[in-house]
């Protein structure tokens, strides 16, 4: 395996398109860093799978990225961050950054009343990872969680707005609005794609939190701490992989990033 240096890439992964919300912020914040993205499109959605399957898929992706010489791995998937961090840390030697602690910190940073709503996949909600992270930071905080399993297929289908999405969002938002949450954690990296709809449905008084900014900040801090930040002024390379249907992934990724994605390579796990 190649020796890790300051110029080694950062690995970023998700079950599909969702982690691009984190990739985009990393690329903007640290343009000199090289990034390798992996969308595990053969296995999406992770959110309805068992913890064992989530840990197995996540570890396979982590090992693949480690084999490409990454210096740090960003697990840009809440479901994986909730269930698979110990397995990933066992599978690879590089430092690993998840999205849950950064998301919990960001929410408590802006919440006035400490009434935090959490939406995520079934698996993330079941794990109570956010609830634990929030209570760890602020004991008296109130949390309400809701699983929103239809959002990921809608996002992967490229339906990011419109009547259908709005109707589904209103249905999911009901209990959160009744609980009068003041802050809503988008506890799945796919959900920021639906931010305009969610903002309308929740109303202007509710702050929406996605963990991308905070996760990128944490990534930068970890790299600085290890003396592994790429030299400033350069331009990092970008590389993308998917485990199925790479052309389709390239099309939707380009739409999301607002720039043509020329090449997404295919890697099968079998
Ligand atoms: N984007 C992912 C998350 O943050 C996973 C969605 C899924 O595969 O179910 O949880």
Instruction: Find the farthest-apart pair of alpha carbons in the chain and give their distance in angstroms, rounded.
Output: 53
- Told to judge if 148 belongs to the known catalytic residues of this protein, a careful annotator would answer no
Do 218 and 91 fall within a single domain?
A: yes
Q: Which atom number of ligand 1 is nearest to the Cα of residue 77?
A: 4
The DSSP result for the chain, as a single string, is: -PPP-TTSPEEEEESSSTTHHHHHHHHHH-TTS-EEEEE-TTT---TTS-HHHHHHHHHHHHHHHHHTT-SEEEE--HHHHHHTHHHHHHH--S-EE-SHHHHHHHHHHH-SS-EEEEEE-HHHHHHTHHHHHHHHH-TT-EEEEEE-TTHHHHHHTT--SSHHHHHHHHHHHHHHHHTT-SEEEEESTTGGGGHHHHHHHH-TTSEEE-THHHHHHHHHHHHHHHT-PPPTT----EEEEESS-HHHHHHHHHHHHTS-----EE----
Q: How far is the CA of 237 from the centre of ligand 1 (A)?
A: 25
Residue 1 confidence class, pLDDT cut points 50, 70, 90: low
Specify the CATH number for the domain of residue 89: 3.40.50.1860
Distance from the CA of 81 to the center of ligand 1, in angstroms? 10
List pLDDT tens digits, range 194-253: 999 999 999 999 999 998 999 999 999 999 999 999 999 989 999 999 999 999 999 999
Shared domain for 91 and 104, answered yes or no, is: no
Q: How far is the CA of 182 from the centre of ligand 1 (A)?
A: 24
Q: Encoding tokens for residue 80?
A: 């994986």
Same domain, 113 and 204: yes
Is there a domain that residue 2 lies in? no
| Domain-ending residue, one of 170, 195, 211 | 211
What pLDDT, on a 0 to 100 scale, did the predictor assign at position 3? 84
CB atoms within 10 A of CB 205: 10
The closest alpha carbon to 184, from 123, 121, 111, 131, belongs to 111
141 and 202: one domain?
yes
Query: In the chain, how many domains are there?
Result: 2
On whether both 226 and 256 belong to a single domain, the answer is: yes
* Segments forming the whole domain that contains residue 113: 100-211
Which atom of ligand 1 is least distant from the CA of 149? Answer: 9
Best of 12, 57, 79 for a ligand 1 pocket test (most atoms within 8 Å of beta carbon): 79
Catalytic residue among 55, 65, 77, 82: 77
Does 192 share its domain with 65? no
Give pTM, 2 decimals: 0.95
Q: Which residues line ligand 1 (CB under 6 A)?
A: 14-16, 18, 44-47, 77-79, 121, 124, 152, 188-190
Pocket test for ligand 1, best of 42, 44, 46 (most atoms within 8 A of CB): 46
In a domain, 59, yes or no: yes
Q: Is residue 3 part of a domain?
A: no
- 76 band by pLDDT with thresholds 50, 70 and 90: very high
Active-site annotation holder among 12, 27, 119, 188: 188
Which atom number of ligand 1 is nearest to the Cα of residue 190? 1
Q: Looking at the structure, tell me whether residues 110 and 206 fall in a common domain.
A: yes
> Are 167 and 233 found together in one domain?
no
From 211, 239, 257, the end of a domain falls on: 211
Atom of ligand 1 nearest to the CA of 188: 4
Task: Say how far apart CA 209 and CA 193 lie, in whole Å.
Answer: 12
Query: Based on the domain organization, do 116 and 207 belong to the same domain?
Result: yes
- Tens of pLDDT, residue by residue over 106-157, are 999 999 999 999 999 999 999 999 999 999 999 999 999 999 999 999 999 9
**Residue pLDDT, tens place only, 26-57:** 999 999 999 999 999 999 999 999 999 999 99
pLDDT recorded at residue 270 = 76
Distance 34 CA to ligand 1 centre (A): 24
Residue 108's Cβ-side half-sphere holds a number of Cα atoms within 13 Å equal to 19
Average pLDDT of 15-19? 95
Omega cis (within 30) before 235: no
Alpha carbon of 124 to ligand 1 centroid (Å): 8
Q: Tell me if 25 is assigned to some domain.
A: yes
């Amino acid at each position: 395996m190649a020796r890790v240096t300051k110029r080694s890439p950062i690995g970023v992964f998700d079950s599909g398109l969702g982690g691009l919300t984190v990739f985009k912020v990393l690329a903007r914040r640290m343009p000199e860093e090289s990034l390798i993205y992996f969308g595990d499109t053969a296995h999406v959605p992770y959110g309805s799978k068992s913890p064992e399957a989530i840990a197995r898929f996540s570890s396979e992706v982590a090992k693949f990225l480690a084999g490409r010489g990454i210096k740090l791995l960003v697990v840009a998937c809440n479901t994986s961050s909730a269930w698979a961090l110990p397995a990933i840390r066992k599978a690879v030697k590089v430092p690993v950054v998840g999205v849950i602690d950064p998301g919990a910190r960001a929410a408590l940073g802006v919440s006035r009343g400490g009434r935090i709503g959490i939406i995520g996949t079934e698996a993330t909600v079941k794990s109570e990872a956010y609830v634990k992270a929030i209570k760890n930071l602020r004991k008296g905080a109130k949390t309400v969680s809701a699983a929103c399993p239809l959002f990921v297929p809608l996002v992967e289908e490229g339906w990011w707005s419109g009547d259908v999405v709005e109707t589904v969002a209103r249905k999911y938002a009901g209990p959160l609005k009744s609980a009068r949450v003041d802050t809503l954690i988008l506890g799945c990296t796919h959900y920021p794609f639906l931010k305009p709809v969610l903002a309308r449905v929740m109303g202007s008084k509710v702050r929406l939190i996605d963990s991308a900014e905070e996760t990128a900040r944490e990534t930068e801090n970890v790299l600085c701490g290890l003396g592994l930040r790429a030299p400033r002024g350069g331009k990092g390379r970008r590389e993308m992989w998917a485990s199925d249907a790479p052309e389709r992934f390239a099309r939707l990724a380009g739409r999301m990033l607002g720039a043509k994605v020329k090449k997404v390579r295919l890697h099968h796990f079998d």
